[in-house]
């Protein structure tokens, strides 16, 4: 027939090509690769998220920070350990509640955040290269809508639940 004239590896199956869950998986892999390459071996993607959170919220406890970022609290420990080792954040006991550790970003951390953000934006630009500026805005809006919607599900606390009305 004709189908074999394409060198090969040209087009994925139609069924997958229109399946958002499959497309998202591929975009994610590309995105991950670009950002990871841009950051190097010493810094992970979660590090940027944590630094950005601290920069915006000011000093907070790990639990609050983790919930806002949608992160597992257990995984936060390792991230903060790494960030503190680089003197990008400080952690001190909250005198009013000795269960809590108040995390704050340092000047070095803020500088690192700027660098990382810049690289992340460069990686993003590479990812979105085939899209026009208005298309990029569209994409951001659509993704925000999805994330905003599903984040309410995922809250294990607030037990209320069931049918909310």
| Residue closer to DNA (CB basis): 121 or 150 | 150
Please identify, among the stretches 64-72, 76-84, 86-94, 99-107, the one whose residues bind a second copy according to the rule CB under 8 A: 64-72
| Residue closer to DNA (CB basis): 91 or 136 | 91
CA distance 113 to 107: 10
Residue 87: name the closest of 63, 60, 66, 107 by CA. Answer: 107
Q: Is 104 in the site for a second copy (CB under 8 A)?
A: no
CA distance 92 to 128: 40
Please, which of residues 62-101 interact with DNA by CB under 7 A?
A: 62-64, 66, 71-77, 80-81, 91, 97-101
**In angstroms, what is the minimal distance from the CB of 39 to a second copy?**
11
């Amino acid at each position: 027939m004709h189908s074999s004239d394409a060198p090969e590896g040209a087009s994925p199956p139609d069924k997958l090509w229109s399946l958002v869950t499959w497309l998202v998986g591929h975009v994610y892999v590309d995105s991950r690769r670009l950002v990871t390459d841009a950051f190097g071996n010493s810094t992970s993607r979660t590090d940027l998220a944590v630094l950005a959170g601290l920069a915006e919220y000011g000093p907070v406890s790990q639990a609050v920070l983790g919930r806002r970022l949608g992160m597992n609290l257990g995984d936060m420990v390792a991230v903060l350990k790494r960030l503190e080792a680089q003197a990008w954040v400080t952690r001190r006991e909250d005198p009013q509640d000795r269960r809590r550790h108040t995390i704050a970003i340092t000047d070095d951390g803020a500088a690192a955040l700027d660098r990382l953000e810049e690289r992340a934006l460069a990686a993003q630009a590479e990812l979105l290269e085939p899209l026009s500026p208005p298309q990029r805005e569209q994409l951001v809006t659509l993704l925000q809508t999805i994330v905003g919607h599903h984040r309410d599900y995922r809250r294990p606390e607030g037990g209320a639940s069931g049918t909310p009305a």
